[in-house]
């Protein structure tokens, strides 16, 4: 791959990363990252990880990187999210290296990577998904190199990068382990037993270190499962989730409704966006058909088997895990599948651009414009803002400072990040409200309610608010702020 492509990939990804990252309020999952990142020592960081027993414990590499990054750049919203930018640059270079010596394809996949709304969204989130994308891009580049030229596996550089990708995937998150399994299986089946054995022996020291690292990670993850660590069981996986995953990975989410509107209104939220989404779907379908047309000439049983192990098998394993673990799967949980998807769409984009049929050329403009518009919308459109804990916390702090009794029916970690005085006698938390008899508590002056399906699942608090004539006085993304109406009698 030429130096010009590498330079353009790095500089453009750094620029896009700087634009995509925002200083919007942290939401629940991000505050969980922030709470670990601000711990003053590694000891306290580890103690907090173990004590919470959440999914963060199963993201060891990312959480450690977040802790180290915060010590250099600070705990602000922008700073925490900006840790994704260097990883995005790594991913961009890895994506372009999928197509060695094919400059048009390199720029096609770079354009699709830089304009993907899914990536823009998670660039601006202090979670592990861009790191996962980077390692999966490295692994995908190695896989497709091996598929195109089996002799490439004899390269020490190829083997080293493949091992780095495997370890990085497994260390970043437990959810990515199936992709490491799939990638390893695909290579082993493609090479055959004898050639695989020779390759492992040729690079025996790298093999030994990689095996030791993977065994250590497997032992660690088994321990986390035994102590009860895991993802939240809010929601379950169903057909709607699978369709939403496809929608997210398509890169069109910026053209549609915001996630909070979808949560509240369901499919009805799509109605105002059907026309623009329809154009986006046409663009993605055009890319897909062009990709199938370009690749159909090279389809054979070996390639189908290879992609079956590398792509289909991990997706199936994650789907089974989601169903068995009562976990609501979303696009972020299958992030490692995005690099091969983008590579496939890049083949389609290049096919449209180079087609002798001039009638297909306008689809190139339509595709790039639709995807770029989606990315810009998901970054700047108000409907795509995350839960506004920052403003809600400011309301709570103000009320408590004025001696008003407040109920905080929302996440505790995020309240802690935004310095809500959790130990104040004037503040009652949702955990206490759900356990105690509400009628026996002093009447609140202010109630800050977020996502009732999570923080008021039985509807007890909402019933209390209706019965005592509380009205919404301010609405924020993912929040309603209630105050009691004055008694005029």
Q: Of 26, 23, 24, 21, nearest to 418 (Cα)?
A: 26
H or E, element range at 291: helix 274-295
pLDDT for the residue numbered 303 = 87
Strands of 406-409's sheet, edge to edge?
427-429, 406-409, 446-450, 479-484, 470-476
pLDDT at 172: 96
Least confident of 115-119, 203-207, 358-362: 358-362
What is the phi/psi pair of residue 112, to 5°?
-70, -35
Average pLDDT, the chain: 91
Q: Give mean pLDDT, residues 357-384.
A: 90
Exposed (0-12), middle (13-18) or buried (19+): which is 440, by Cβ within 10 Å? exposed
Distinct helix (H) and strand (E) counts, the chain: 25, 5
Q: What is the pLDDT of residues 58-75, one digit of tens each?
A: 999 999 999 999 999 999
The yes-or-no verdict on residue 115 having pLDDT over 80 is: yes
pLDDT for residue 437: 75
With a CB cutoff of 8 Å and minimum separation 6, the contacts of 464 are 438, 439
- The 8-class DSSP code of residue 457 comes to T
CB 396, CB 418: distance < 8 Å? no
Look at residue 357 in the predicted model and tell me its pLDDT.
Answer: 78
| Phi, psi angles (nearest 5°) of residue 480 | -125, 135
CA dihedral 350, 97, 369, 348 (to 10 degrees): 30
How far is the C-alpha of 316 from the C-alpha of 135, rounded, in Å?
Answer: 20
SS3 479: strand
Instruction: Say how far residue 142 (Cα) sits from the centre of its chain.
Output: 23
Question: Tokens 């984009």 identify what position?
Answer: 349
pLDDT at 299: 82
Express as a percent the part of the chain with pLDDT over 90: 73
Average pLDDT over residues 69-94: 97
Q: Are 347 and 292 in contact (CB under 8 A)?
A: no
H/E stretch holding 37 reads helix 28-37
Task: Give the number of C-alpha atoms closer than 13 A to the C-alpha of residue 194, restricted to the C-beta side.
Answer: 0
pLDDT exceeds cutoff 50 at 233: yes
Task: Find the helix packing angle between 3-20 and 361-380, rounded to 10°.
Answer: 40
322 pLDDT more than 50: yes
Q: Per-residue confidence at 53, pLDDT binned at 50, 70, 90?
A: confident
**Phi, psi (5° rounding) for residue 171?**
-75, -25
Least confident piece of the model among 28-37, 201-210, 217-226, 258-267: 258-267
Confidence bin at 435 (pLDDT 50/70/90): low
pLDDT tens figures, 146-190: 988 888 888 999 999 999 999 999 999 999 999 999 999 999 999
DSSP-derived letter for residue 127 is: S
Q: What is the pTM of this model?
A: 0.93
The burial class, CB within 10 Å (0-12 / 13-18 / 19+), for 280 is buried
The conformation of residue 75, written as its DSSP 8-state character, comes to: S
- Model confidence at 269, pLDDT cuts 50, 70, 90, reads very high
Query: Phi-psi category of 149—alpha, beta or left, where left has phi over 0 and alpha has psi -120 to 50?
Result: beta
Q: What is the pLDDT at residue 458?
A: 85
pLDDT value of residue 489: 46
Q: What is the pLDDT of residue 436?
A: 66
At residue 143, the pLDDT reads 94
Q: How far apart are CA 483 and CA 476, in angstroms?
A: 15
């Amino acid at each position: 791959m030429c130096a010009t492509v590498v330079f353009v990939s790095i500089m453009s990804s750094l620029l896009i990363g700087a634009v995509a990252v925002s200083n919007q309020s942290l939401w629940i999952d991000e505050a969980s990252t922030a709470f670990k990142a601000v711990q003053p020592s590694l000891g306290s960081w580890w103690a907090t990880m173990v004590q919470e027993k959440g999914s963060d414990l199963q993201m060891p590499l990312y959480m450690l990187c977040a802790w180290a990054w915060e010590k250099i750049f600070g705990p602000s919203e922008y700073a925490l999210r900006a840790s994704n930018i260097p990883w995005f640059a790594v991913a961009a270079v890895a994506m372009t290296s999928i197509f060695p010596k094919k400059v048009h394809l390199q720029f096609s996949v770079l354009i699709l990577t830089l304009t993907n709304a899914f990536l823009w969204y998670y660039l601006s989130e202090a979670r592990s998904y861009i790191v996962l994308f980077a390692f999966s891009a490295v692994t995908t580049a190695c896989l497709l190199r091996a598929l195109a030229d089996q002799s490439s596996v004899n390269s020490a550089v190829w083997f080293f990068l493949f091992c780095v990708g495997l370890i990085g995937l497994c260390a970043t998150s437990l959810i990515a382990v199936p992709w490491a399994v799939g990638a390893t299986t695909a290579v082993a089946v493609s090479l055959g037993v004898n050639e695989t054995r020779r390759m492992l022996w040729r690079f025996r020291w790298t093999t030994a270190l990689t095996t030791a690292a993977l065994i250590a990670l497997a032992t660690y993850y088994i321990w986390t499962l035994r102590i009860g660590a895991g993802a939240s069981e809010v929601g379950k996986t169903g057909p709607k989730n699978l369709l939403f995953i496809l929608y997210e990975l398509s890169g069109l989410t910026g053209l549609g409704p915001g996630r909070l509107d979808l949560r509240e209104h369901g499919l009805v939220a799509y109605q105002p966006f059907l026309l623009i989404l329809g154009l986006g779907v046409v663009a993605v379908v055009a890319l897909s058909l062009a990709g199938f047309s370009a690749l159909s000439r090279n389809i054979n049983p070996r390639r189908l088997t290879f992609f079956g192990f590398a792509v289909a098998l991990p997706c199936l394993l994650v789907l089974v895990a989601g169903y068995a673990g009562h976990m609501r799967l979303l696009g972020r949980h299958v992030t490692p599948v995005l690099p091969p998807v983008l590579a496939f769409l890049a083949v389609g984009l290049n096919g449209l651009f180079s087609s002798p049929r001039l009638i297909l050329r306008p689809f190139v403009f339509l595709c790039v414009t639709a995807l770029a518009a989606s990315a810009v919308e998901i970054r700047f459109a108000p409907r795509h803002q995350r839960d506004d804990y920052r403003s809600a916390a400011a309301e709570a702090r103000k009320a408590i400072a004025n001696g008003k009794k407040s109920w905080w029916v929302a996440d505790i970690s995020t309240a802690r990040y935004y310095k809500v005085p959790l130990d104040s006698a004037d503040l009652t938390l949702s955990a206490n409200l759900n356990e105690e008899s509400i009628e026996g508590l002093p009447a609140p002056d202010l109630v800050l309610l977020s996502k009732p399906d999570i923080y008021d699942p039985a509807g007890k608090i909402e019933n209390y608010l209706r019965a005592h004539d509380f009205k919404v006085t301010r609405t924020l993304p993912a929040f309603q702020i209630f105050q009691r109406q004055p008694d005029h009698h």
